[in-house]
Amino acid sequence: MLEEGKHNDRFVFLEDVAEELDMAFDDSTTYYNTETGEFTYCSDYFSSEMDSVEFEDEKYIALPSRYDIREYDMMAEFADDVCDEHKSELLSVALEGEGAFRRFKDTLSRVGLEDDWYRFKEEAYIEVARKWCQDYEIPYKVRNAAHAQSAQEGNEPYRHKCCMCGSDAKIHISGTQEASYCLECHNKLMAAQTGAEMPDAVPTQIVLFDVCEEAHAFAIESMIFPHCKSIRATEVVGTTCYKENVYGELSDRFEDMWSEMVRRLEKSLSKKYMGDDASFEDMKAVGYVDYNRIHDAYEVVIDGKAYTWAQLEKNLSMYEGWKIKIEFADMGDELE
């Protein structure tokens, strides 16, 4: 874990990191210089010609390698997600055996999904870049607003389009009445069906400040379900990931739910459970459990920061002989 303040006020654009990742070769490592913000390559073949010792300096952070990025898995996931069953199968078959990369690309052009694949791949690389920034606590920003929110949050592949307005769909209804909707159209439809109230202009983002006067930007998603409605806040910029859900009855006023959301967000930003060395400050901590797709592991997010079980274990060892209480609650419930 790097010390606080090590990276100054420097930040990277996720798009730049993703581009570096995409350009990387099998036999080279790209390093990020936290002091200058530059990326530098170091080829494993020609390392004798370069000062590779230099990169042992703490100011250099290696980007994930080709091996870590697993583009093959991205292809397999894409093939799996394609809605058209026939095309999906052709792509999956192309990925079997040797020469998979070339065959996959040939098949893509044959079934006319090249553009979709490049969009999918771009998103996947952005996610790798985001995870890398989060892991090494490198502040980041996005150039493209569509990258502000993690694609992990999406319920369905982005390729689905809203059947009412044609914009990117967020909600996919399967079964006999299969259809995709954007959030807005879905809410309009559900409001008409259930009679639930949802104002025309609901907030889509909010910025709040924590105890250290640091800004936290949240993306807001409001939804009407057949039997309830919800507001979800997900932190989208920076190194932390605070999350909050508020659920209400169909008859609840949206304004009241929104006040409750703001109250909860302000409350969680007003306290810190963990000290700088990942120690429990208060003899207690509240957070949420999250799946890390890149590491294929579950993490505990406290104060908006993800901790692996190994990191927490070190901490727990201080409390040998003490009692501990673990309590689980729905994301919409408030834990004290």
Q: Which residues bind Zn ion (CB under 5 A)?
A: 162, 164-165, 182, 185
CB 185 to Zn ion: min, Å = 3
Residue with tokens 């692996």: 308
Measured from the CB of residue 147, what is the shortest distance to Zn ion in angstroms?
A: 21
**Complex with Zn ion: residue 164 or 179, whichever CB lies closer:** 164
Nearer to Zn ion, 183 or 262 (CB): 183
- Residue 163 CB, shortest distance to Zn ion, in Å, is 8
Residue 144's identity, in one-letter code, is N
If the CB atoms of residues 223 and 262 are measured against Zn ion, the closer one turns out to be: 223
**Strand 140-141 versus strand 12-13 pairing type:** parallel
CB of 261 to Zn ion, least distance (A): 24
Q: List all residues 6 or more positions away from 276 whose beta carbon is below 8 Å from its beta carbon.
A: 4
Instruction: Find the helix or strand (DSSP H, E) in which 16 lies.
Output: helix 14-23
What's the CA gap between 289 and 308, in Å, rounded?
10
121 neighbors 14 (Cβ within 8 angstroms): no
Closest to Zn ion by CB, 129 vs 171, is: 171
What DSSP assignment string belongs to 264-328?
A: HHHHHHT---B-TTS-BSSS---EEEEEETTTTEEEEEETTEEE-HHHHHHHHGGGTT-------
Q: Considering beta carbons, is residue 168 or 290 the nearer one to Zn ion?
A: 168
Query: CB of 330: closest distance to Zn ion in angstroms?
Result: 28
